[in-house]
Amino acid sequence: MGQPVNVGVVGCGAISAQYFQTIDRLPQLRLVAVADLDLDRAREAVRPYEGVDVLGVAELMADPRVDVVLNLTVPAAHAEVALQAIAAGKDVYCEKPLAATTADAARVLEAAAAARVRVGCAPDTVLGTGTQTARNAIDDGLIGRPIAATATMMTPGHERWHPNPDFYYVPGGGPLLDMGPYYISSLVTLLGPVASVIGAASRTRPKRTIGSGPRQGEEIPVLVDTHVTGVLVHASGALSTLVMSFDGVATKAPNIEVHGEKGSLVVPDPNRFDGQVLISGKDGWQELPESAGYIGAGRGVGLIDFAATPAGKELRAGGSLAFHVLDVMESLLAAAGSGAAVTVASTCERPRPVALHSSVS
């Protein structure tokens, strides 16, 4: 193994702890500095880790030790922070979605291309054994030609547990932009890019009440649709039916099912790295053994995939997949608004498969 990749993190909120744990246990990565608008939050977040500097955002961007900026800010700040990193000549890896709008995301990708730096983006969960084993089964022809998929995410809303859930209910959030990246990245991994969409969406109530933390009981405005449904028409001709909801209370529907001409697959939660992949057969459903993907992965494994990808080769958890996924989601909301089908302007390569291996090299 060569030198570890030095990571500088901007944004030390709820999700940062998971990344810090992954970086801490993977020898391929080293956390050198963190920044946040709230410096106390940043100090508290890295308290368990030795030798990590807490810096201002501009200082972190200028730090010559930082190889890649890991952008864990809220969606509305993703583009601004990514553009700062790119202007400083750094690679950048963003939490999802790549930006709050495709216009902002396009500015990020254009700036990165001009500066010859790389853009990676979550979710990296789809590089784990769950989605990758299902993809392997499809590529091996176990279900025949894929013809359709269903994807269902149903939760009454993240304000029940997140202490600062405002970003889930402003543009860049909502069930589609928040959870859609997991499901649509998985569907593109399984079935390839999306050519057009139809959709419908609703908003059940104008306010939400924060359920935990110091702001418990505070009401926040809802500025986005909170139940979004639609059909994604893949370029291959396969049809994915999507339901993303912060309104429904519970569901027993599988997260994702893929149906082929010869059989069907149950694909595990794309917001997790692993999970049971089931295939239909004459004796009922059977579990497939893990056959592809990073074993024992955690949030941040996309960074080692990023580091292991030679220059000039498309990243698996990369900017063009993330842009396409955002474009699909924006097109779906436009289709829901107009009631007409919308052609998705962008496309991307179906990400390369991940061979079965440990995330610790």
Ligand X SMILES: NC(=O)c1ccc[n+]([C@@H]2O[C@H](COP(=O)([O-])OP(=O)(O)OC[C@H]3O[C@@H](n4cnc5c(N)ncnc54)[C@H](O)[C@@H]3O)[C@@H](O)[C@H]2O)c1
Shortest spacing between CB 271 and ligand X, in angstroms: 8
Closest CA to 69 of 126, 31, 106, 101: 31
Shortest spacing between CB 285 and ligand X, in angstroms: 29
Closer of 162 and 316 to ligand X (Cβ) = 162
What is the rounded distance in angstroms from the CA atom of residue 127 to the CA atom of residue 274? 9
Closer of 33 and 72 to ligand X (Cβ) = 72
Which residues, 6 or more positions from 122, have their beta carbon under 8 angstroms from its beta carbon?
93, 94, 95, 96, 181, 299, 302, 317, 322
Which residues, 6 or more positions from 77, have their beta carbon under 8 angstroms from its beta carbon?
11
Closer of 56 and 281 to ligand X (Cβ) = 56
Closer of 121 and 238 to ligand X (Cβ) = 121
Residue 16, token pair as written in the block = 């940062």
Q: Is the dihedral of CA 347, 128, 292, 135 positive or negative?
A: negative
Closer of 177 and 231 to ligand X (Cβ) = 177
Shortest spacing between CB 172 and ligand X, in angstroms: 8
Shortest spacing between CB 280 and ligand X, in angstroms: 31
Shortest spacing between CB 43 and ligand X, in angstroms: 12
Residue 316, token pair as written in the block = 């698996």
Task: State which amino acid sits at residue 75.
Answer: P
Residues of this chain that interact with ligand X (CB under 6 A) are 10-16, 35-38, 41, 57, 72-75, 77, 80-81, 95-96, 162, 164, 167, 178
How far apart, in Å, are the Cα atoms of 257 and each of 81, 111, 112, 355?
Answer: 36, 37, 36, 22
